[in-house]
Structure 1
Amino acid sequence: MHVISLISGKGGVGKTTLTTNLAIALGQRGKRVLVIDLDPQNAVRLHLAMDPGDDAGLVREGIFPEVIFHSPFGVDFIPFGRVTEEELLEFESALEARPQWVATAIQGLRVAAYDYILLDTPPGATVYLPQALKAAERALIVVLADAASYTSLSKLFKLLAEYGVQDTYPPTSTTTHILLNQMQENSELGQQVRTALMNTYGAKMAPMVIHRDAMVPEALAYERSVLQYEPDAPASRDIQHLADWLRTTA
């Protein structure tokens, strides 16, 4: 069982969309995949066709085989859940008191025999970041080819180093990679940022980018994965490449 955290230093990088489509790509390759939503925005459910009126999620039900939802896209998921502000504060306080809660809960899922578990997290330094890192064997840092993403990386790597000192997670180039998402090839600024990332982080860069593709939001509007809506779209090919790379480097 491989556990991968998808993290970011800033919001709006398309991380949840990437997480769910990556899960579907791995599922298309015959892998049993579970997505766990650790983001209070509770958006994974929207990508995996959960009944919008269902409030269930890990905040109230925890992480157990009995609370796993089965999507029509061939992957399973546990939503964050729709909760009140008071419930959210209580939950986050409990996570601070139990830093291994997610890791321990995932160990209890071994009976479900998943090949991959993907953890979707909120951006920045939240209580969910150390929980995800302690549970995962590798992390993908999702960034855009813009100045804000570039500057956020140094702060994020400092956090990874801090958590690495406190626990067994090693933030090294073999376990942590930076993935450029929504890349526009005809953007001069984007190419400059990409070059700067390569020069600064070198081997930490994933060997592919996910291109900006109008088919991605269009597919979501039709409640589909871009991999199914338009398998030959540039983003679909990129995500398939990412899935194959993760499999061969596991």
Structure 2
Amino acid sequence: MSCCKQYSTEKLEIILKRIFFSGLKGGVGNTTLLANLACALVQAGERVTCIDLDSKNELRLHFAHQWDDLCGWSTLENNTLEKVAFTDPDGVKFIPHGYKASTLSEKKQLVSFSQNLILDENEWLLFDVPNYANARSLGLKDDDFFIRTVNCDVSCHSIINQRKLMHNNYDEYFLINRFNSAVDIEVEIARLWRQQLPHMLPVFIHQDEVLKEALAFKNVGYNCAPFSVIKDDFQALISWLKLHFSKVAE
């Protein structure tokens, strides 16, 4: 692992492509999805930095980080992020959460501070967000992009409908993960969401066990299964995100 020395506290002048990924509930594969997207972006020639806002501190494990190295931004006494900034073998830069618990206020402060990082032009900044946080609680800007990762199951469908009744949408987009087209109820739920939810992304990530198995090798499924359909899924997601940010920049 090597430290990313380019981090600084000088003001960033370019528009950041900041994407915040959060599971609608626990266990939907949000962290795994983010790690694979980061790898896919780097292999597509993009520059990526990932920041883990979740106290579970699991994102680092997908990037070949040492299991027993528990340092992260939550363990720092000041904002010297270069001390806990690492680069994985693929070139993904990442900042772990660390073993200490963090409050929502501290997460919000880090999100605000991330605007001052010196990054390469057009770099992507991906955040792994715990499922209890939202765009409002993190103080996001209008050009930030917040994605809720969902599975096509009855539990997620129920949660989404509860939020619709409470009008708690917060301009979040939904991304279907672990989609299995061979399961009728998943196909039906996906159809309903596309009809009823205005912010449903037009792409989804298929179910593939390699996404789970890759973590045992401290890697991502995108690297371990070169002929898997998920390669096409992540490339489609990247294309859609590029189109989105190109419209934001206009």
> What is the TM-score of this pair, normalised by structure 1?
0.81
1:1-38, CA deviations, whole angstroms, 9 ceiling, x for partnerless residues? 20000122211100000000001111112111011111
Identity of aligned residues (%): 29
Which amino acid in structure 2 is aligned with residue 52 of structure 1? W
Given the alignment of the two structures, is residue 187 of structure 1 paired with residue 194 of structure 2, yes or no?
A: no
In 1: Cα distance, 2:148 partner to 2:52 partner: 16
Aligned residue for 2:147?
140
State which of 81, 103, 109 in structure 2 corresponds to 1:64. Answer: 81
- Give the 5 Å matches for 1:1-250: 1-61=16-76, 62=79, 64-83=81-100, 88=101, 91-92=102-103, 95-96=104-105, 100-111=108-119, 113=121, 115-123=123-131, 125-126=132-133, 130-131=137-138, 133=140, 137-155=144-162, 158-161=167-170, 171=171, 176-201=172-197, 203-250=198-245
Structure number with the higher helix fraction is 1
Contact kept, 8 Å, 1:63 with 1:106, in 2: the verdict is no
Change in Cα spacing, 1:225 to 1:8, as seen in structure 2 (3 Å) is closer
Which amino acid in structure 2 is aligned with residue 78 of structure 1? I
Which amino acid in structure 1 is aligned with residue 98 of structure 2? G
In 2: Cα distance, 1:43 partner to 1:153 partner: 26
SS of match in other structure, 2:110: helix
**What are structure 1's unaligned runs of at least 5 residues?**
162-170
* Total equivalences in the alignment: 226
Contact kept, 8 Å, 2:84 with 2:96, in 1: the verdict is no
In 2: Cα distance, 1:128 partner to 1:208 partner: 22
1:115-135, CA deviations, whole angstroms, 9 ceiling, x for partnerless residues? 101110111x34897227459
In 1: Cα distance, 2:159 partner to 2:40 partner: 28
1:85-130, CA deviations, whole angstroms, 9 ceiling, x for partnerless residues? xxx2xx31xx43x68412321112135556101110111x348972
Contact kept, 8 Å, 2:51 with 2:127, in 1: the verdict is yes
After the TM superposition, which of the residue ranges 152-161 and 22-31 deviates more from structure 2?
Answer: 152-161
SS of match in other structure, 1:56: coil
Change in Cα spacing, 1:57 to 1:99, as seen in structure 2 (3 Å) is closer
SS of match in other structure, 2:40: helix
CA-CA distance at 1:181 after TM superposition = 0.4
Change in Cα spacing, 1:113 to 1:151, as seen in structure 2 (3 Å) is same
Which amino acid in structure 2 is aligned with residue 106 of structure 1? S
CA-CA distance at 1:42 after TM superposition = 0.6
CA-CA distance at 1:206 after TM superposition = 0.9
Which amino acid in structure 1 is aligned with residue 236 of structure 2? H
In 1: Cα distance, 2:97 partner to 2:194 partner: 34
In 1: Cα distance, 2:227 partner to 2:81 partner: 36
